[in-house]
Amino acid sequence: MGSKAMTSMRELFPESEHLIPIIEKMSCTHWRRYFLVVNAFDCGEKKKQELWGFTRDPELIDKYGHNEECIRFSFFEERGLYIVDIVSGAYFTFFITNDGIYGIGENENGQLGVGNNLNQNDFVKIESLNGLNIKKLVCGTFFSMVLTQDSEVYGFGLNHWGQLGLGYKSESVLLPTKLEMFGKGKIELETIYCGEHNVFFLTTPSASTNYLKQLYACGYMEFGQLTEQYWEKYDYVDGVITEECWERVYKVEPVLIDFFSKSKEKTVKNMISSYGFSMIITQDGCLYTFGTQRDGELGIDAKNDEVYPITEIQWKGDEIRSMTCGTDNTHFLTNNGSIYNTGHHYVMSLVKQKLKQQLVYNNIPTLVFKFDQISRDDRILMSSSTEIY
């Protein structure tokens, strides 16, 4: 929530019709934050939903304008649409509904998949995704990827680093375009993950993968984003990579990441990826990191701006329940309700009745908050103040 301290939901959504409003889903872009709000005690299959959001960017392009406090969006409620999930890139957002996928925001590279590169200032249905039996939709900074139930993969948006895995690079791919490498009878996939300029593909065990969950990746790799297996020491002039090395800083087709593909114990259980780094939890419960950092986000007490190979983080907390990351930080939620941070983190304090924030840097996983209770689906969290978040 930017510089705001954690607060009660009633303060955030004062005009909510819910008795006790809580955030069921949340998705953030650089322009706008979206919150899908439900009643804390609504356990129905289809809960009554309210979509709220705010922005602190005066250059916001959408029709709803600049608003620093949360406002309610009625678009989906008015049309009787039920939101299943919300997924965002840097300046654009998708809403997966019971009647297809809708998008809004920046579209300069075709990342919304509407067939042009015009920004969309209101919610628009993404007709190009009709007919695809979508299993997962994920976004990088300026691109989008779709995985279908038949293990087909489609990419659209910015492809400057070959991050769409299409075998070539280009500035804009305006419509969902199929990767020929994956699908039924080929390499089948369990899931996909996006970094800012990378995509990772996790396979399902089959004869073509030695009956292992193997990890493939493509895109930008100047800072070790595809592990040390594909990184080399590049030449620079005045801080800019030389033209001779330029063609070697990206992979336009998915390549196998050996470390996470050779033994069952080291295959991927969960993963997050950002601009220069990734973190992976393997099937044996180990936590690994690789790439480079600016603010300590690798979590291994490393030096900034250096490339690091796959390294195990010596985790000392409770079992990790989920992970999320920004460009320069990572947060871990554990089974006992603890939140750990690596990278930069804001500490809030009350000084002379004024809220102050201090930016701190954690080079190793550091406890920053503790919930007393946490629900099975991470939806309701209780702090010691007994507020519901």
Residue 254 to residue 181: CA distance in whole angstroms: 8
Residue 235 to residue 256: CA distance in whole angstroms: 25
Q: Which pLDDT score is estimated for 340?
A: 93
Q: Check if the beta carbon of residue 280 is closer than 8 Å to that of residue 287.
A: yes
Q: Which pLDDT score is estimated for 374?
A: 56
- Label each residue of 195-227 as H, E or C: CCCEEEEEECCCHHHCCCCCEEEEEECCCCCCC
Residue 349 to residue 358: CA distance in whole angstroms: 8
Q: What is the pLDDT of residues 40-70, one digit of tens each?
A: 888 777 789 999 999 878 778 789 988 888 9
CB atoms within 10 A of CB 50: 22
Between these two residues, 230 and 47, which has the higher pLDDT value? 230
Q: What is the pLDDT of residues 159-209, one digit of tens each?
A: 999 999 999 999 999 999 999 999 999 999 999 999 999 999 999 999 989
On the question of pLDDT at 2 being above 50, the answer is no
Among 54-63, 73-82, 84-93, 222-231, which is the least confidently predicted range?
Answer: 54-63
Q: Which pLDDT score is estimated for 18?
A: 87
Q: Check if the beta carbon of residue 98 is closer than 8 Å to that of residue 79.
A: no
Q: What is the pLDDT of residues 318-359, one digit of tens each?
A: 999 999 998 889 999 999 889 999 998 877 655 555 656 788
Q: Which pLDDT score is estimated for 375?
A: 54
Q: Which pLDDT score is estimated for 389?
A: 35
Of 377, 283, 389, 353, residue with least CA distance to 9: 389
Between these two residues, 286 and 1, which has the higher pLDDT value? 286
Q: Which pLDDT score is estimated for 15?
A: 86
